[in-house]
Amino acid sequence: MRLSLLALLFASSGAFSWTTGSGTTGVAARPRPMETSALREIGARTYQQRCAACHGKHGDGRGWAAKSLPLRPRDFTAGVYKVRSTPTGSIPTDEDLFATISRGMHGTPMMSWRGLPEDERWSLVSQLKSFSVRFAQERPASSVAISREPEDESELLVEGARLWATVRCAACHGSGDGRGPSVALLKKDPSRQVNVRDLGRGEFLRGTSARDIYLTLRTGMDGTPMGSYADGLTPRETWALAAYVRSLIRPSTDR
């Protein structure tokens, strides 16, 4: 019965529209409400109603539905997040958390909650932060700067294809299908669940725009083998690799 209710909840959220990168960017339309005890109470109640089934009532990723999901829900107590605007190793900004709640995590069971009022989504931000001491002890680093996207698309694609080989993206992602030679080794690590992305499906956690991919390449995905290329690639090279990655997305009829 519980799983049936969860499936119904997913189905009512917009026909799984969050899975392919469609929908909101997650930017708030109105100013953030003041942090008050009333807002925190709303966050605690909303979390238990909307999130605890997967993420657990204590935020440890051990909700009653967790074992039935294809991917392990985030353990909020660790304070480690894949999708951020901040450099690798930093906690996310409040705006990052709000965006993820609003946008969902594309290609995962984490749906978009953009149907909730913005104040309620901000209350969830406060609740998520309460699960990890990192948010009390650390401040998020400044968001990664995003340079202007070059306009010479054809040249970018050529450069991006070269960089794909140079920085060895194929070791994990193969030809873009997520079947590189290193995948077998990654899956042998019992301490974490590794899910190398099939880029051709266009199910990127943040989204499929060149800007989304650029930011992921610059920030990395903490808690996964996907590191940051901020120190290894120039901004232009990052745009080039982002353009090439985007070119690997297969037409919807082929996914």
> DSSP 3-state assignment of 113?
coil
pLDDT of residue 156: 96
Q: How far is CA 6 from CA 9, 11, 62, 203, 207, in A?
A: 5, 9, 15, 21, 24
Count CA atoms closer than 13 A to 113's CA, side-chain side. Answer: 21
pLDDT, tens digit, 9 for 90 and up, residues 152-210:
989 999 999 999 999 999 999 999 999 999 988 887 766 656 788 899 999 899 989 99
> Which residue did the predictor score with more confidence, 7 or 173?
173
pLDDT of residue 136: 97
Element (H, E) at 115: none
pLDDT confidence tier of residue 17, bands split at 50, 70 and 90: very low
Quick one: average pLDDT of 12-31?
63
Quick one: average pLDDT of 17-37?
78
Mean pLDDT score across all residues of the chain: 89
pLDDT of residue 7: 47
pLDDT confidence tier of residue 5, bands split at 50, 70 and 90: very low
Quick one: average pLDDT of 25-43?
94
Q: Kindly write down the DSSP assignment for every residue of 155-202, as one continuous string.
A: HHHHHHHHHHHHTTTHHHHTTTTS--TTHHHHHT-TTS------GGG-
